[in-house]
With several copies, the nearest count.
Chain A
Amino acid sequence: MTYRAEVFVTLKPVVNDPAGLTIKGGLHALGFDSVREVRAGKYLVLTLDADDEDQARSRVEEMTRQLLANAVIEDYRIELKVPSPSGGGQGGGLRT
């Protein structure tokens, strides 16, 4: 089966975020004063084969721990899009 996983990697709250600050500055300069904070992270979309949902999830978890995120500075969250048996996939149930 083919799964689609979304990995969200963010800087830990204690780590300052130069990119986020710069973007916030840019938004303020554009007149969007109501923005209080911006945090910049990564959004990785993986397509992978696995026997079942559990296997897919544990593989992505492993990849993220090993490579996709750096535990010294980053947190992560994984969302697995389960291919809905009724096809369609796209709008398929979002389960985390």
Chain B
Amino acid sequence: MNTGIVVFPGTWSDRDCAHALSDVLGQPARYVDHREERLDDLDLVILPGGFSYGDYLRCGAIARFAPVMEAVTDFANRGGLVLGICNGFQILQEARLLPGALLRNASCEFRCEWVNLRVEQSESAFTLDCRPGQVLRIPISHGEGNFFADPQTLEAIERNGQVVFRYCAPDGRVTAESNPNGSLGNIAGIANAHGNVVGLMPHPERACEDLLGSTDGLALFRSAIHALDRVAV
């Protein structure tokens, strides 16, 4: 699986994603500069976390216009796998590749902590290896991850099975206490209608080694590898 990790000015987690893919999973990965316009060599594009353009105005608002985003849009429309993590999720929404928006956390505070995610949809490219209802332990680190969509949009993404992850208690119950940021329906991650583009606030790349506290994040990257195998068959 050839992975491209997009680096915008202010991206922070690019190196962590590269570490997870190359050092932990042994997959080839390269950095993609925000001015690049060709992604032909890639199977997976990751928009990593960070604070592109300082998070000024709105998170992801300025990055969305970087030249690379046109290429990412084409890539996604052709069925390429795209994963937006944290700031990357925000950018995908600004670029309208995913529905909804992410507001300030309800607490108005930044939150860096471990959360539990219930897998709602095991048919997306990034959850093929999971069972529906499976609970993953992965950290969050954001100030604006409060998922919002207008009622019609929300109803549509729920109906289409586009909700991929919800914040939950360790036993999988979706409760108000387990919602770290006020997201509607405890939504932590969603997919586009085809399931090839996924955005989520938690950081799977930080949960790929026992030494760092969890290996549950590997499931997302392994799923992507399997999704590609499926296409190839």
Contact = CB atoms under 8 A, between A and B. Distances in A.
State if A and B touch, Cβ cutoff 8 Å: yes
Interface in B109-152: 146, 148-150
A15 B148 contact: yes
Contacts of B108: 18-19, 21-22
Interface of A: 11, 14-16, 18-19, 21-23, 25-26, 29-30, 40, 42, 66-68, 70, 72-73
Interface in B129-181: 146, 148-150
Interface residues of B, number: 23
A22 B103 contact: no
A23 B104 contact: no
B148 A40 contact: no
Contacts of B93: 72
A22 B101 contact: no
A26 B57 contact: yes
Given A14-B150, A15-B148, A22-B62, A68 B57 contact: yes
Contacts of A18: 54, 56, 103-108, 146, 182
Contacts of B182: 16, 18
By secondary structure, the B interface counts as: loop
B205 interface: no
Given A19-B108, A26-B53, 14 more contacts: A16-B106, A18-B106, A18-B108, A19-B54, A25-B62, A26-B61, A26-B62, A29-B62, A30-B65, A40-B56, A66-B65, A67-B65, A70-B94, A73-B101
A72 B105 contact: no
CB-CB nearest 7 A-B residue pairs: A26-B62, A19-B56, A22-B56, A22-B108, A18-B104, A72-B101, A73-B101
